[in-house]
Amino acid sequence: MMNNRENPIKINHVGFLTNAPKRFVFTGESQSGEFIVEYLKDTLYTEAFRGELKYMETDDGNGYVGDFSKLKAEGDYRISIDGIKSRHFIIYDKAYDNLARVLLGYFTYQRCGSELGWAGKCHTDDGYIAETGERVDLSGGYHQSCDLRKSPAGVVQGVLGIARYAAVQKPHWGEILLTDELKWASDYYLKVIQKNGAEYNTLNAPLGWEGRTFYESAAPDSAQWCTTSFLALCSIYFEKRDKKRSEKCLETAKRSFEYMTGETRRRDMYTHPDEFPMGMDPDNFYEPCFPRSGADYGYMAVVAADMYRATKDKSYLEYVRMGADGLCSMEMNDGLVKIWENDTASVTSRCFYSWIFGLYEGLCCAIELLPEAQNINKWKTMLKNYCDLMCNLASDSIWHATPRVYTDKDLDFRSGHLYEWMTHLPSIRETAGPFKKYKGLNYSQKRFITYPGIDMSFAVVLKKAQKIFGEEVYGEYAQSILDVVLGCNRLDASHVNAIGYNQVSQCPYGQFFPSTPNIPGAINIGFADCDSTSHSEYDMPCVGMCMYLISELENTFKKETDK
């Protein structure tokens, strides 16, 4: 077999669930115009499926696409095109079981203050309250990424993915490993909700191994919404496993929800309470989520739905309805959500910390829980508009990659904070190259860059929309997004450490010693281009969202007898 990156057959390195769509991209030249899927038994390959290659010219590259979705027999396989052989892959109803287990292990490695964490029992002095100087036990939790951050938003968006996975999946290793990780995570999040319901905020300073500074002024709104959902789901998970823990999680989730829907909550866009080091969660990561904003309405619906599932209290359904109606009031065109009522900027073009695990999933929750609602047709129309729009945009990529989408106002958006030595941060307009119009929308033809956290959250919504509308194409695009993450891309490179091949190196940071190890299960936040020598960061929200996505795929694509 030829060198990996020279192999023109690009395919998901892990494989496919039995009933899943199955697709690959061939970047070479084909004389025959067809492909063969070969089945491996013992040491012999035999033909299992033969299909035609479809040539595509797209804004994101040209090549051939092969589809063998009709092949459902479990086994070991490879693709053959004019004598060129792909790497081996599997079709199996538990194809992503090992993937989920490795992803879960990432959280154990990243534990903060635990002997099981990669750094050992670190940061036991967390934390010191900035406003009072008081020492409060806020130890525990997790390091988020390639550094020592314990970001209030990034970390909980990761562990929420564990809770979503555990809510529906029961792998053979889950009762031990999932339960232990959810105990560790819930121990921390039970600490960070204050008596008044607000979540402690942190800038994660200093960057070394000493105790870190926390703030009584609340964490970003998107962070606390996710924390509330996580605790609600933990109350369900532990109801029959640990009654005392379940009750404490639910009581804390209620207190948090009351704060988020009450009058003492921050009313405007988020700003950090102090100066912070470069690269550490700038304000604009969180700005689009505040009361009466588009992202906030989405979170309200999702979190209220989780609270209803945990309590069976129908009063929470009113918040689900309010969230869905609020989202509809923020629709700008073809399903896109504007940041707030007097703005023209789209939430989806801002950092995903502001809306991941929220936004369009709020419409899905409302449609599921309130089928007789007066505005259900509006909710369905908006959700379908968005899914159709994003699938149409992704169709301009041979990989079905999701482009970064911007409205006109967003094209000149500056990100981060300016420092004395930095006089200008280039705008999206200046860096993205020519833009293409789609139904009044501008998006770059050169920015089909995979960002797993964002793309997989879109795939989760697609899977839920597939169930609502019966649109099989939504499931096909959702699977393609996971395929790209698992290696069906230009580099033939998996974004997941220890799963697949050709991973891009992680970013080196000079913030502490020793540097963060290359942790199994870490997911790279996205390849900047076709440059395999570039560095990129791995990030906990991507890992959690991947667990959530594969859980949704398994709900649909596993064999009926295994559901």
At 449-498, the pLDDT tens digits run 667 888 899 999 999 999 999 999 999 999 999 999 999 998 898 999 99
CA distances from 460 to 64, 360, 474 (A): 27, 10, 10
Residue 433 has pLDDT above 90, yes or no: no
pLDDT tens for 221-277 read 999 999 999 999 999 999 999 999 999 999 999 999 999 999 999 888 888 888 776
* Phi and psi based region of residue 82 (left: phi greater than 0; alpha: psi -120 to 50; beta: remaining): left
Per-residue pLDDT, 526? 77
Query: What is the bridge-based pairing of β-strands 75-81 and 34-41?
Result: antiparallel
CATH number given to 4-91: 2.60.40.10
pLDDT at 537: 83
In the chain, which segments carry CATH 1.50.10.10? 96-281
For the stretch 374-411, pLDDT in tens is 999 999 999 999 999 889 888 888 999 876 655 444 44
Integer CA distances (angstroms), 38 to 23, 43, 45, 193, in order: 15, 12, 6, 55
Contact indicator for 369, 317 with CB cutoff of 8 Å: yes
User: Which segments of the chain belong to CATH 2.60.40.10?
Assistant: 4-91
Q: How far apart are the first and last CA of the chain?
A: 37
Peptide bond into 206 cis (omega under 30): yes
Q: Look up residue 175 and give its two tokens.
A: 């009762």
CB 215 within 8 A of CB 130: yes
Q: Is the pLDDT of residue 297 over 60?
A: yes
At which residue do the structure tokens 């209803």 appear? Answer: 308
Taking the C-alpha atoms of residue 523 and residue 102, their distance in angstroms, rounded to an integer, is 11
Q: For tokens 């994660």, name the residue.
A: 204
* Bridge partners for 536 per DSSP: 506
Query: What CATH number is given for 96-281 in this structure?
Result: 1.50.10.10
Higher pLDDT, 555 or 459: 459
